[in-house]
Amino acid sequence: MTLDLFPHEPASRPAKKAAPLADRMRPRSLEEFVGQSHLLGEGKILRVVLAQGEIPSLIFWGPPGTGKTSLAMLVASRVQAAFVPFSAVTAGIKEIKEVIAEADRRLRGGGQRTVLFVDEIHRFNKAQQDAFLPHVERGTVTLIGATTENPSFEVIAPLLSRAKVLVLQPLTEPEVGQILSRALADAERGLGRTGVRAAPEILEAIARWANGDARAALNLLELSGRLSAAGPEPGVISLAIVQEAAQHKSLLYDKAGEEHYNLISALHKSLRGSDPDAALYWLARMLASGEDPLYIARRLVRFASEDIGNADPRALTLAVAARDAYHFLGSPEGELALAQCATYLATAPKSNAIYVAFGAAQSDVASAPAEPVPLHIRNAPTSLMKELGYAEGYKYAHDYEGAHAEQEYLPERLRGHVYYRPTDRGLEAEIKKRLAAWRKKG
């Protein structure tokens, strides 16, 4: 049995026939739109402004596949505005001027407003973003930008001040499942006339794999449908077929963007909070998402000094060893060394005393004059230097009980200044006692 996933459609719709399932299944009305109830629910901001018929310039910020483009199209339709898509990837200042000129003619000629939809607005440089400002301010166009990146960092402040940022959330698994069920049953735009079938648990598996991304889910459903034509039960999508089509799970990650910093922050804070289970999860997430394992190793080495320090000096040794082990073994074998290190760091006694002490010393170095080294601790390799008093009065520590000599090592202005204050945790508890005894003698 041969399945035709895309049966013949009228000649007037060739582009629609060739379009991917995710594009064909775009919602045609706000009633069809799934998700983002915090924006579209009763009394919520987008529903209210649409009911009033006036929309401000907007920036939709959210992960891929959450409906940014579809929502922009529906907003323009609801207020009867011309919808002009504009790609930050392919367009420049020249194209911006042409679009603005057309919008101005449209407004002057028939009074129709223009919604200028800028996909991936974060890819525009400052000059390109500046080009929108006067036209947004005059109302020539209503700007709707879409971005997966934090607009605080990627969109210029003047443009941000003229637009309302709306955050779109990843879709829930039931919401993605609803979209998949609709696509499977829809005979006009979806797979309804192809004979493809999928049990509810299969759609749940696809929704789970998609990780809140409706586009990824629909793409996987479409490819799974194609593969099912050659399966043991032609037209039936099985879990094995979904796994073959998926190859690997889709994880939102941008090694240069916000999610990179979100995940490394989650790993660092889980380690600091002494939660080895959370640390392992975030480590696995970063590795599965394609993060450079040696970047993670560097962060573990940093953590060993910053958050453990002398409470357990072995932590730094293990972190460096884990880095070397990964460098020697590579993936996947070397990843186990990173996991071992993460669990050790999470369960080790914690101290940021070194971090605080060094920061205080750096602050003094930066803010105070460079103090001369006290004469008695200077080196005196020449007779002239000895005559000038270099090393005079220096006490050689090993000549004293406990190899500790009572003398001042800091410059005159900083005498008695204490930077390092060990904690009562781990080995630092012993260090604290030792220092207290020495300082008492002094």
pLDDT digits (tens, 9 = 90+) for 46-71: 989 888 888 888 999 988 899 999 99
For 193-210, what is the mean pLDDT?
A: 89
Residue 184 pLDDT exceeds 70? yes
| Calpha distance 405→386 (Å, rounded) | 21
Q: Model's pTM, two decimal places?
A: 0.59
CATH (one of 3.40.50.150, 3.40.50.2300, 1.10.287.70, 3.40.50.300) for 35-167: 3.40.50.300
- Report CA-CA distances (Å) from 6 to 188, 206, 218: 10, 21, 15
- For CATH 3.40.50.300, the residue range(s) in the chain are 35-167
May I ask the CATH class of domain 173-246?
A: mainly alpha
CA atoms of 211 and 217, how far apart (whole Å): 8
DSSP lists the bridge partners of residue 60 as 146, 166
Closest Cα partner for 81 from 110, 101, 59, 51? 110
CATH code for residues 258-347: 1.20.272.10
Q: What is the DSSP string of 362-414?
A: HHHHHHS--PPPPGGGS---SHHHHHTTTTTT---GGGSGGG------S-GGG
Six-digit token string for 144:
């709707």
**Pair of tokens at residue 58:** 């907007």
Tens digits of residue pLDDT in 91-145: 677 777 888 888 888 888 878 888 889 888 888 878 778 878 888 888 788 889 9
Q: Could you tell me where in the chain the CATH 1.20.272.10 domains are found?
A: 258-347
The whole-chain average pLDDT of the chain stands at 85
The CA distance from 57 to 142, in Å, is 5
Sign of CA dihedral 253, 256, 262, 267: positive
Mean pLDDT of the region 214-237? 89
Flag the least confident range among 87-91, 200-204, 276-280, 388-392: 87-91
Point out which residues pair with 165 in neighbouring strands. Answer: 59
Q: What percent of the chain has pLDDT over 70?
A: 92
Alpha carbon 10 to chain centroid, angstroms: 44
Comma-separated ranges of CATH 1.10.8.60 domains in the chain:
173-246
